[in-house]
Chains A and B, each alone.
Chain A
Amino acid sequence: MLRLEDVHTYYGNIHAIKGLSLRVDQGEIVTLIGSNGAGKSTTLMTISGIIRPRTGKIFFQEEEITGALTDRIVKLGITQVPEGRMIFPRLTVYENLLMGAYLRKDRKGIKMDEEHAFELFPILKERRKQAGGTLSGGEQQMLAIARALMARPRLLLLDEPSLGLAPIVVENIFEVISQINSGGTTILLVEQNAQMALQVAHKGYVLETGRIIMQGPSRELMENPKIQSAYLGID
């Protein structure tokens, strides 16, 4: 479904992604784990078209999207829940959701997905008239996910959904991620919390300083002693 071939991305002169290749197949949850500064967020921003790769190719459903504008990428079916959530603090929860459906014209479908979002996160329904910035961190994360779902993505990119959240909220978020996936949405999940990520994912890639150093089914990665000591805190 999504394929990156030897992608190199730079921030000015900093070589952030050094020849990254990965693939995400329809229906999967794929996780990209790695420590701070490994290039995980840069990878997602490159896929979303916020940053252009210097070389390499990106394909989505066999169509090349390298260097395409973000609005076209969203239209094709890739939506991102960015790190730090990036909700609109002075728009209401409801307006935030509507912005997720910005490119859609089908009013009925939007209305349906609204209901669906409120079913998935009932707290958002209670807070629908509140400004997004007044929500707690966990609620903002829910809003960010709900907002992204309003675009009806085929592929959902999630960047550190557990960042800064209480463990109980994290569990809740990961449950929702599994639920979204069983509804038919393919997911590419970036996480520092490797434990949680590998538990829900089918497949994983390990990123270190801009390069993939290991990949495979989640179960195998979890049993790999190197991963255990470096990312899972098991000696």
Chain B
Amino acid sequence: MFEQQLINGLTLGMIYALIAVGYTMVYGVIQLINFAHGEIFMLSAFLAVTFITVFGLPIYVVIFMTMGCCALIGVMLDIFAYRPLRQSPRLAALITAIGMSIFLQNLAMIIWGSRPRPFVQEALPAFLRTPALSFGEATVSWLQLTIFGTASLLMIILFLIINKTRVGTAMRALSQNRTGAALMGINVNRVISFTFALGSSMGAVAGIMVAIYYNTLYPTMGYVAGVKAFAAAVLGGIGSVPGAMIGGIILGIAEALGAGYISSLYRDGIAYAVMIAVIIFRPSGILGKSTVEKV
């Protein structure tokens, strides 16, 4: 059972990691916990299903379209909800984020109804549910393998964007010294928009993955996933992208093992337990930076 839970946990962890990078990147550039990020993840699942059922598009196309739409929603969220509050106390933006989360959840309920619905399985290739590999009694399905592969690929791309491109370097510069970055001629608002777009499109892929993996989607699905991914970001050290990746994976595995060995009823509780433990014992997280500054 251990191997099977480890595989399940790793799959789940990769998904959490994809959501967590969105929290951590936005926190890095504007020191805001974007609580509406979970809702972008939820909207992605609904948009994907809508694109498939209404327009009859193939899943590969739908993934890219959904990423684009969610990137746009993320940017709009920043422009209309957060940008006007840039000079206000941080608490104002935080409360706005919670408000946006509730607003988007209810918007989804109005559009799609509040009842959970299954994902359109017909749109997926049938082989996804078949086993791809097996170790002893444990099996890895093609779906798990696809999730793992896609998430890894996205994470590598994200890593390259952040570390090797001009706009990625500007993102890092901005998170280290906003005025300094502005003085270099970096258009701060544009880079912040880019950060939202990047994080939201990663969250979008995670949303589709979760909807397929659990074969269900509902307007409040972003809340639980969002809290867990947030816990993952805190565990890894908020503001650190590699930290969010590691935090997501650790949390996913902890959750799967906890569900397997303790009780699946405690599944959601484990994320909270991990978050509380981090806050007590290592508030800066695994890869969190200490706040010492040289003058």
Residues of A participating in the B interface, judged by any CB pair closer than 8 Å: 48, 50, 69-71, 74-75, 79-80, 82, 84, 86-91, 95, 98-100, 102-103, 133, 137, 140, 147, 151, 164
Contact = CB atoms under 8 A, between A and B. Distances in A.
A80 B183 contact: yes
A133 B294 contact: yes
Given A74-B183, A151-B185, A99 B173 contact: yes
Interface in B246-295: 289, 293-295
B180 A74 contact: no
B186 A91 contact: no
Given A74-B184, A84-B295, A102-B184, 9 more contacts: A69-B187, A70-B185, A71-B182, A79-B183, A86-B177, A88-B181, A90-B176, A91-B172, A151-B184
Contacts of A147: 184
B180 A102 contact: no
B183 A86 contact: yes
Contact of B182 (A50, A75, A87): A50
B53 interface: no
Interface of B: 166, 169-170, 172-173, 176-177, 179-187, 289, 293-295
B43 to A, nearest CB: 32
Q: Which 6 A-B pairs have the closest CB atoms?
A: A74-B185, A86-B180, A103-B185, A88-B176, A71-B185, A88-B173
B295 to A, nearest CB: 7
Contacts, number: 74
Contacts of B182: 50, 70-71
Contacts of B169: 91, 95, 98-99
A80 B173 CA distance: 16
Contacts of B295: 84, 137, 164
Contacts of A103: 185
Nearest to A103: B185
Nearest to B185: A74
Contact of A71 (B180, B186, B289, B294): B186
Contacts of A84: 295
A69 B185 CA distance: 9
A91 to B, nearest CB: 6
Nearest to B293: A89
Nearest to B189: A69
Contacts of A98: 166, 169
Contacts of A87: 177, 180
A64 B19 CA distance: 45
5 contacts: A50-B182, A74-B185, A91-B173, A133-B293, A151-B184
Contacts of A70: 182-183, 185
A82 B185 contact: no
B294 A82 contact: no
Nearest to A147: B184
A16 B92 CA distance: 27
A78 B116 CA distance: 57
Given A99-B170, A99-B173, A102-B166, A89 B294 contact: yes
B53 to A, nearest CB: 44
Given A90-B176, A91-B172, A82 B183 contact: yes
B81 to A, nearest CB: 22
A102 B170 contact: yes
Contacts of B179: 50, 82, 86
A151 B172 CA distance: 19
Contacts of A86: 177, 179-180, 183
Task: Output the residue of A69, A74, A75, A99 with the most chain B CB within 10 A.
Answer: A99
A117 B184 CA distance: 16
B193 to A, nearest CB: 14
A65 B180 CA distance: 20
Contacts of A151: 184-185
A75 to B, nearest CB: 6
B185 A50 contact: no
A50 B173 contact: no
Contacts of A102: 166, 170, 184-186
A147 B177 CA distance: 14
A120 to B, nearest CB: 18
Contacts of B170: 99, 102
Given A88-B173, A91-B169, A100 B184 contact: yes
B186 A99 contact: yes
Contacts of B187: 69, 71
Contacts of B166: 98, 102
A93 B59 CA distance: 44
Task: Output the residue of B177, B186, B289, B293 with the most chain A CB within 10 A.
Answer: B177
